[in-house]
Amino acid sequence: MTVHDVPGVFNVRDVGGLPADGGRTRDGVLFRSGHLARLTSEGRERLAAFGIRRIVDLRDEQERRDEPSRIDGLGVETVCLPMFAGSAASFFDDDLSLDDLYRALVDGSASRLVEVVRAVLAAHPVLVHCTVGKDRTGLSVALVLAAAGVDEDAVVADYARTEHLLPVARNDAVLRFLRARYPHARHLEDLATRSPAEAMRAVFEDLRLRYGGPVDYLRSYGLRDDEIAELRRILIA
């Protein structure tokens, strides 16, 4: 896993180098990040240097309108796969815990999660992002990696790394805003800033209990064995 400095974007990393069945994930195939609305000119050059052919944007329509990606002229295809009905603000309105949020994504966005896998298959190098690159991106990339046969501990560690890559100034500003708007929310800080390993471990355990595991979950919503084999060919060296 390599963290990249891309001016105007935080939490940019290449998930290459993770241990998997029969090898490791390839460098330069699958990237993840926060949104691209503040991408600078230098950041655009660095993003172009990755050779990315496709961007998978997991944000909803309102988020995309409020903070449009600054990728015009880069010649990159964007696939929009919003991960939930309604707006991201509903997390805070409903005071969801991370466990609640991830269960809602698993249950309510299963077909979209399969589409993320297919989007990675169809064109790569590929960048997957949401607003922060923590929850929707974290779950989506975790399932892609799991389907490719990456060791579960490595998948969980990649998810958990986000918490340490979010800028302190960003976290402070976001928390001030959210606390003023949702003064009684108990899970606000977790939702906005944290990616504890135990949260993703809980997702995997839930998928084992209900489906047999993350790969079986994806299969149950239509992902085919030939697609899984192709994903492993693309991602694992």
123-135 tens-digit pLDDT: 999 999 999 999 9
Look-up of token digits 């976290």: 171
Q: What confidence tier does 86 reach under pLDDT thresholds 50, 70, 90?
A: low
Q: How does pLDDT run across 184-213, given as a tens digit for each residue?
A: 888 989 988 999 999 999 999 999 999 999
Domain residue limits, the chain: 2-235
In the prediction, which pLDDT does 117 show? 97
In the prediction, which pLDDT does 90 show? 72
Q: What is the mean pLDDT of the chain?
A: 93
Q: How does pLDDT run across 102-114, given as a tens digit for each residue?
A: 999 999 999 999 9
Both tokens assigned to 89:
């603000």
Both tokens assigned to 44:
């655009």
DSSP the chain: -EEEEETTEEEEEE-TT-EETTEEBPTTSEEEES--TT--HHHHHHHHHTT--EEEE---HHHHHHS----TTS--EEEE---SSS-THHHHHTT--HHHHHHHHHHHSHHHHHHHHHHHHHSSSEEEE-SSSSSHHHHHHHHHHHHTTB-HHHHHHHHHHGGGTS-HHHHHHHHHHHHHH-TT-SSHHHHHH---HHHHHHHHHHHHHHHSSHHHHHHHTT--HHHHHHHHHHHB-
Percent of the chain with pLDDT over 90: 83
The CATH number of 2-235, from 3.40.630.40, 3.60.9.10, 1.10.10.60, 3.90.190.10, is: 3.90.190.10
Question: Which of 209, 207, 229 lies closest to 218 in space, CA to CA?
Answer: 207
In the predicted model, what is the mean pLDDT of residues 138-153?
97
Q: How far apart are CA 184 and CA 1, in angstroms?
A: 37
Q: What confidence tier does 87 reach under pLDDT thresholds 50, 70, 90?
A: low
Q: What confidence tier does 84 reach under pLDDT thresholds 50, 70, 90?
A: confident
